[in-house]
Structure 1
Amino acid sequence: MIDSTARSTAPPRRAGEKRRLEKHKARAGWVLLAPALLHSLIFLALPTVIVVWLSLTDARIAGEGDWVGVQNYLELITDSRFQDAFIRTLIYTVVVVPGGMIIALAIAIALNQQIRARGLFRTLFYIPVITSPVAVSAVWLWIYNPSAGLANEALAFFGLSRSGWLTDPSIALPALMVVGLWQSLGARMIIYLAALQGVSNELVEAARLDGANAWQVFRNVTWPAVSPVNFFVLVTSIASSFQVFDLVYVMTQGGPANSTTVLVFDIFTNAFERLHIGYASAETVLMFLFIGIMIFLGRFTQPDRKGD
Structure 2
Amino acid sequence: MTSTTAASRDVTGRRAQRHTLARRQAAWGWIFALPATLHIAIWTGFPIIVAMLLSLTHYDMLNPPTWAGIENYITIANTPLFWRAMLHNLIIAAVGIPISMLLALVLAVMLNQGIRGSGLFRTAVFLPHITATVAIAMIWLWIYSPGQNGLLNYIGSFFGIPNQGFLNNPSLALPAVIVVTIWQGLGLKTMIYLASMQTIDAQLYEAAEIDGASAVQKFMSITVPILKPTTFFILVTSIVGNFQTFDLIYILTQGGPANATTVITYEIYQTAFQQFRMGLATAQSVVLLVVLVLLTILARKLTGGRDDD
What band does the TM-score fall into relative to the shorter chain?
0.7 to 0.9
1:34-82 Cα distance to aligned partner (Å, 9 max, x none)? 5544432332122211211111011111782211111111111111111
Task: Give the TM-score normalised by the residue count of structure 2.
Answer: 0.86
Matches within 5 A, 1:165-204: 165-204=166-205
- 1:82/1:266 contact within 8 Å kept: yes
Aligned AA (1:41): A
- 1:126/1:187 contact within 8 Å kept: yes
1:286 and 2:287 matched: yes
1:86 and 2:97 matched: no
Cross-structure match for 1:125: 125
- 2:58/2:277 contact within 8 Å kept: yes
Corresponding residue SS for 2:66: coil
1:109-128 Cα distance to aligned partner (Å, 9 max, x none)? 11111211101111111111
Cross-structure match for 2:242: 241
Given the superposition, is the C-alpha separation of residues 35 and 62 from structure 1 closer, same or farther in structure 2, using an over 3 Å criterion?
farther
1:121-165 Cα distance to aligned partner (Å, 9 max, x none)? 111111111111111111111111112121112222332222111
Aligned AA (2:198): Q
Give, in whole Å, the separation in 1 of the partners of 2:74 and 2:95.
29
Aligned AA (1:90): L
1:51 and 2:51 matched: yes
Corresponding residue SS for 1:257: coil
1:26 CA displacement: 5.2
Given the superposition, is the C-alpha separation of residues 159 and 243 from structure 1 closer, same or farther in structure 2, using an over 3 Å criterion?
same
Corresponding residue SS for 1:171: helix
**Residue range with higher mean Cα deviation, 75-84 or 207-216:** 207-216
Give, in whole Å, the separation in 2 of the partners of 1:131 and 1:62.
37
Give, in whole Å, the separation in 1 of the partners of 2:245 and 2:33.
31
Cross-structure match for 1:136: 136
1:25 CA displacement: 10
Give, in whole Å, the separation in 1 of the partners of 2:166 and 2:98.
23
> Which stretches in structure 2 are left out of the alignment for 5+ residues?
1-15
Given the superposition, is the C-alpha separation of residues 74 and 29 from structure 1 closer, same or farther in structure 2, using an over 3 Å criterion?
closer
Aligned AA (2:211): D
- 2:232/2:305 contact within 8 Å kept: no
**Residue range with higher mean Cα deviation, 294-303 or 231-240:** 294-303
Aligned AA (1:252): T
Task: Give the TM-score normalised by the residue count of structure 1.
Answer: 0.86
1:232-260 Cα distance to aligned partner (Å, 9 max, x none)? 11110111111111100111111111111
Identical residues among aligned pairs (%) = 41
Cross-structure match for 1:253: 254
Give, in whole Å, the separation in 2 of the partners of 1:207 and 1:176.
42
Given the superposition, is the C-alpha separation of residues 168 and 290 from structure 1 closer, same or farther in structure 2, using an over 3 Å criterion?
same
- 1:96/1:241 contact within 8 Å kept: no
RMSD across aligned positions (CA): 2.5
Give, in whole Å, the separation in 2 of the partners of 1:111 and 1:217.
17
Give, in whole Å, the separation in 2 of the partners of 1:88 and 1:212.
43
1:93 CA displacement: 1.1
Aligned residues: 289
Aligned AA (1:291): L
Cross-structure match for 1:154: 155
- 1:62/1:277 contact within 8 Å kept: no
1:28 CA displacement: 9.8
> Which stretches in structure 1 are left out of the alignment for 5+ residues?
1-14
Give, in whole Å, the separation in 2 of the partners of 1:302 and 1:28.
30
Given the superposition, is the C-alpha separation of residues 29 and 292 from structure 1 closer, same or farther in structure 2, using an over 3 Å criterion?
closer
1:33 CA displacement: 5.0
Cross-structure match for 1:6: none
Given the superposition, is the C-alpha separation of residues 23 and 198 from structure 1 closer, same or farther in structure 2, using an over 3 Å criterion?
closer
Give, in whole Å, the separation in 1 of the partners of 2:190 and 2:25.
42
Give, in whole Å, the separation in 2 of the partners of 1:47 and 1:304.
28
